Amino acid sequence: MGASFFWTLPVDGDRRGPSARRGFIGGLRDERRDRFTDYDYLFQVARAAESAGFTGAFVPWDEQGEDSWIVAASLAREARRLIFLPEIQPGFTTPVYLAKISTSFQRLAGDRLAWKIDLERDPVVRRAHGDHLVGTDFFARAGEYLEAAKGVWTEEPFDYEGRFFAVEKGGLKGPLAGRPLPLTYTAGQSDEALAFAARHADVHLLDGGEPSVVSAQIARLDQALGRFVVSRPVDGQPRRVVKRGIRLSVVARHTAEEAREAVRVTGWESRRDLVAGSHDEVAHRLDELADLGIDQFVLDGTPHLEEAYRIGEHVFPRLTVAARPVARAA
Amino acid sequence: MAIDVYWRLPLHGCKGELGIGRANRGDWSPPVVGNLAPGFAAGESDGSSYADHLADIARAAEISGFYGGLLVSFPNTDDPWTIAPALARETKTFRFMIAFQPGFIAPAHAARLSASLQRVSGGRLVYNVITGGGGPSQLWWGDRVAHDDRYARTSEFLDALKAVWREGPVDYRGRFYQIEGGGLAPRLASQAIPEIYFSGSSAAAVAAAGRHADYYLSHLEPFDALKEKLERVRERTAAEGRQARFALRFDILARRTPEEAWAEVARAWQTVDRKALERLNAGTGDSVGFARQSAFRAGLGSVLSHRDLDVDAHIAPGLWSGFNLFRGGPGIGVVGSYEQAAAWLDRYLAAGIDAFVLAGTPHLEEAYRVGEEVLPLVRGRVQDQPARGPRDDYPVVGPEVGQAAQAPISSGA
């Protein structure tokens, strides 16, 4: 057993790196000039996550930050063990393109890609990217997007005729074919998101909170799964498995008091997915969540380099065996 | 302006020899002993990836003086949008010319991907905008838009991308794209929009090129046909109030002597079967460029030996139209001694070409050969000489250029 732990990469730079660098004014020699980019810091965080024992790196899609796909692909050859979980906007490319860039990623990185399909983005932001679909239409297209991408991946020749996408005699061939399909992660608590997860996801990420709140979310996810299973058995399987994951913002310190102060300094008081406390308390909370059947954790903490090490050194060793991070997601 | 010389990054696999045979570099043929990247021994892959070899080629190209490389894109290639970021941090000066079809990515998303790539690479992204050869492969990609409409879409895509990049927040209302309040975050918007190499031979393509191309990129064609095509582009570009620049892409097979080069062709010729010869004149799809290539060949008469595929022999020896017997794509390339090859580059420079995208098989070794032996012999356009020198921080070729320019240049045979 064990759980998969993903660390969040700070695509907005953590207010660190060249774009936020404070120059020296006291005549100190500074040889950095333009020799480094923000990606050098991102790589440091990825390496920190790898060293700390995380299974993978979650790369959020942040309008103000670097693009999630470019970040993941640019670090995949240097970080040799992490699974990369970039957040992807369904419909910003064609599904064939998603399949093609992804199989290329699997080839160069040794099958370390997973997809976080974003179902929660503000429609205003999507309209700014030329995407005007909302509600049922949005979820219908996102479903087609994954169906067609997976179809191109697993069948050749592949034909698809949907409302939004069509493929004729498609399908990856030769060495592009046959790679493991990236696992699909989703999140969101709306009925549509849960129904979508039941149909398309391998892992659905719940939103962090008190165990009682999380339990209620699990019940709703199970309901959605139950409805789906009744209406649409998949490949003769009586039950489609959708793993439970969770997103958490973590502040762990030696003492609860220090953690409270750190929460205040980072301005995270209002974060609903916050887990803050002593190393023991945070480890205990993660164990509790693992007991609820959650085995996929997507953690965030700032600054991302130091916090990755802190969790690796102080929290992971305190977890029970069931919740210890595994090297590769199963 | 400095002359930019690119090399091809073979995202479709590579092989050790020109002729038809197993693509033994990469896993594009079933791996057997003798395969490289992934290597294969004792029945097992050694765990390397084809991207390792692509990284080697990219580094070979930048070490040998190439400005960058063209990352080709077909259904059966690794994808440039994955390979470019993957290699960005392990190369220094190599420009990534990404071939892509605009219809497959939303323009605002493409702007975001591109600006992030500019940031990770230090501004080394270049576009090769292609609009598709049509036919079955467009449907493979899931694209049903008709040929001329695709160019309208391409043109709109580039308008929208530039608007989002430069003018955000901006609204864009087009036939294919409608954007509300599009724009890039400041860290991304401050990056330069990549130079655009634009491909396509049809009237619709030339019209779109006139509006958008920084460089109009053509396959090699017989000298007169090429000049005629460039003239059409020049007119169309001028009509948009812009000045056209031109780039040529072709294979180059250069050796110490012409005899050695032609012996290489003759050896490759032995691998050609009758079917491949028949395919020479058969084409599919709605690509005007492909039709043009076929037409040039038809004028050559029946093909009995490899020397029947010479083109423009009245100008100088060394244009050979059989390269697509060994791979997909255009047929005409340069064969000859280092001096003859350099002379052809000079001939095209004199005819108004501004940049080259070269290729040779195998890509790794030939990058060194062309960079070491051919590029230093290129004199360049006479009017360029006074201004010649390092372009910004990235010299196109080494300091040998100045010396070579004073050496006598063979004019051909």
- The answer as to whether B235 is a domain residue is yes
Distance CA A141, CA A147 (A): 10
Residues of chain A positioned with their CB less than 8 A from the CB of B49? 107-110
* DSSP at B374: I
User: What is the per-residue pLDDT for B288?
Assistant: 65
- Tell me which residue range forms the domain holding B43: 4-406
The 3-state secondary structure of B309-373, one letter per residue: HEECCCCCCCEECCHHHCCCCCCCEEEEEHHHHHHHHHHHHHCCCCEEEEECCCHHHHHHHHHHH
Scanning B240-331, the segments in alpha helix (DSSP H) are 258-269, 274-279, 288-298
Q: Does A122 touch chain B (CB under 8 A)?
A: no
Interface test with A, best of B11, B45, B73, B140 (most A CBs within 10 A): B140
- Distance, CA of B281 to CA of B302 (rounded, Å): 11
Q: Are B127 and B69 in contact (CB under 8 A)?
A: no
Q: Which of residues 221-250 of A touch B (CB under 8 A)?
A: none
Residue with tokens 């992971």: A316
Cβ <8 Å between B187 and A130: no
Task: Determine which helix (DSSP H) or strand (DSSP E) holds A232, and give its type and residue range.
Answer: none
CATH 3.20.20.30 fits A4-88+203-323, yes or no: yes
Residue B70 falls within a domain, yes or no? Answer: yes
The three-state DSSP-derived secondary structure of B149-201 is HHHHHHHHHHHHHHHHHHHCCEEEECCCCEEEEECCCHHHHCCCCCEEEEECC
Q: Spell out a b/e string for B302-341, using b for 16 or more CB atoms within 10 Å of the CB, else e.
A: ebeebeebbbbeeebbbbbbbbbbbbebbbbbbbbbbbbb
The model's pLDDT over B259-302, given as tens digits with 9 standing for 90+, comes to 999 999 999 999 887 776 776 655 445 566 656 666 666 555 56
pLDDT at B411: 39
The per-residue pLDDT for B186 is 93
B303 neighbors B309 (Cβ within 8 angstroms): yes
Q: What is the CA radius of gyration of chain B?
A: 21
* Integer CA distances (angstroms), A77 to A71, B46, B48, B302, in order: 11, 16, 11, 50
Q: What is the pLDDT of residue B399?
A: 37
Q: Do B79 and A104 touch (CB under 8 A)?
A: yes
What 3-state DSSP class applies to A248? strand
What pLDDT shows up at residue B294?
Answer: 61
Q: What are A66-101's pLDDT values in tens digits? A: 999 999 999 999 999 999 999 999 999 999 999 999
Q: What is the pLDDT of residue B43?
A: 82
Determine contact: A54 vs chain B, CB below 8 A. Answer: no
The reported pLDDT for the residue numbered A263 is: 96
Query: Residues of B numbered 258-297 whose beta carbons fall under 8 angstroms of chain A's beta carbons: which are they?
Result: none
Chain A environment of B50 (Cβ under 8 Å)? 107-108, 175
- At A280, the pLDDT band (50, 70, 90 cuts) reads very high
The pLDDT of residue A238: 54
What pLDDT score was predicted for residue B315? 87
Q: What pLDDT score does B304 carry? A: 73
**Domains identified in chain B, total number:** 1
CA-CA distance, A87 to A66, in Å (whole number)?
12
The tens digit of pLDDT for each residue in B68-86 reads 999 999 999 999 999 999 9
Rounded CA-CA distance B63/B46 in Å is 27
Predicted confidence at residue B408, as pLDDT, reads 37
Average pLDDT for consecutive 10-residue bins of chain B (413 residues)? Answer: 95 90 87 88 87 97 97 94 98 97 95 97 96 80 89 96 97 97 96 95 89 95 91 94 94 97 94 73 56 60 77 88 85 96 96 96 97 96 51 39 36 37
Q: So what's the pLDDT on residue A330?
A: 40
Question: What's this model's pTM, rounded to 2 decimal places?
Answer: 0.90
Has residue A255 got a pLDDT over 70? yes
Region A4-26: what's the mean pLDDT? Answer: 87
In a domain, B413, yes or no: no
> Is B40 contained in some domain?
yes
| Within-domain flag for B122 | yes
DSSP track, A284-323: HHHHHHHHTTEEEEEEE-SSHHHHHHHIIIIIGGGS-GGG
**Element (H or E) spanning A99, and its range?**
helix A95-109
Average pLDDT over residues A60-69: 97
- CA B7, chain centre distance (Å): 7
Residue B296: what pLDDT? 65
Give the domain CATH number at B284: 3.20.20.30
8 Å CB contact between B13 and B5? no
Report residue A296: phi and psi, to 5°: -135, 115
Q: A264-289 burial string, b = 16+ CB within 10 Å, else e?
A: eebebeebebbbbbbbebbbbbbeeb
Residue B233: exposure state from Cβ atoms within 10 A (0-12, 13-18, ≥19):
buried
Structure tokens at B172: 């864009």
pLDDT value for A321: 84
For A:161-190, CB contacts with B below 8 A are 165-171, 173-176
**Cα–Cα distance for residue pair B314/B319, rounded to 1 Å:** 11
Residue with tokens 């280092």: B338
Average pLDDT, chain A: 93
Name the percent of chain A lying above pLDDT 90: 82
Give the helix/strand (H/E) hosting B142: none
